């Protein structure tokens, strides 16, 4: 019996255990269709997901731009979270009329618009990234009194 212990220890030392995380699935990203040019606008967004979501990176880019072309500051939030299963997740990005990043909180970040914008998200399960997902809605600047639709994400 004693001679088996060293053999068993040697066999176990040769084994490798690998843990692989499966990326979450994100789809149907929605945002409202406009933001205010003269005051802060809370831009709501929502998306369907399945799997494990431990972090969500949020990008607010000029329409036509992709996340691989993002400049510093266009990744507007990296939100730590822990969501398991499947369903609909909601969040927001506060948009102000100036071109500087102003604040970060657990729920959102204030960023500044320049022209038409499109929201993109990428989810993570620890270190396993999902594909980038873009909103089906292009947000346009609006200077009217009805610029913030005050809708929450569906």
pLDDT of residue 75: 78
pLDDT of residue 153: 46
pLDDT of residue 99: 36
Sign of the C-alpha dihedral, residues 97, 102, 103, 107? positive
| Cα distance between residue 115 and residue 63, in whole Å | 8
Q: Of 18, 26, 132, 115, nearest to 75 (Cα)? A: 132
| Cα distance between residue 67 and residue 111, in whole Å | 16
Q: According to CATH, what is the number of the domain 23-142?
A: 2.60.40.2550
| Cα distance between residue 16 and residue 12, in whole Å | 8
Instruction: Locate the domains of the chain by residue range.
Output: 23-142
Q: Of 43, 49, 69, nearest to 138 (Cα)? A: 43
pTM: 0.72
Residue by residue, pLDDT tens for the chain (154 residues) are 556 666 666 666 667 777 788 999 999 999 988 888 888 888 788 999 999 999 988 888 889 999 999 887 677 778 888 888 898 988 887 776 653 333 444 455 555 545 788 989 999 999 999 999 999 999 888 888 888 776 544 4
Distance from the Cα of residue 107 to its chain's centroid:
11
Tokens 């399945």 belong to residue: 50
């Amino acid at each position: 019996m004693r001679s088996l212990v060293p053999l068993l220890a040697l066999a176990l030392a040769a084994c490798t255990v690998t843990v692989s995380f499966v990326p979450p699935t994100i789809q149907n990203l929605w945002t409202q269709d406009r933001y205010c040019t003269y005051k802060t606008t809370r831009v709501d967004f929502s998306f369907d997901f399945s799997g494990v979501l431990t972090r969500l990176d949020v990008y607010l880019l000029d329409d036509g731009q992709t996340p691989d072309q993002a400049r510093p500051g266009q990744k507007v939030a990296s939100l730590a979270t822990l969501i398991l299963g499947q369903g609909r997740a909601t969040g927001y990005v506060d948009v102000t009329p100036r071109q500087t990043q102003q604040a970060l909180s657990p729920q959102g970040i204030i960023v500044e618009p320049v022209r038409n914008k499109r929201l993109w998200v990428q989810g993570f399960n620890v270190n396993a990234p999902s594909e980038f997902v873009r909103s089906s809605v292009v947000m346009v600047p609006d200077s009217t009194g009805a610029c913030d639709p005050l809708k929450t994400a569906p």
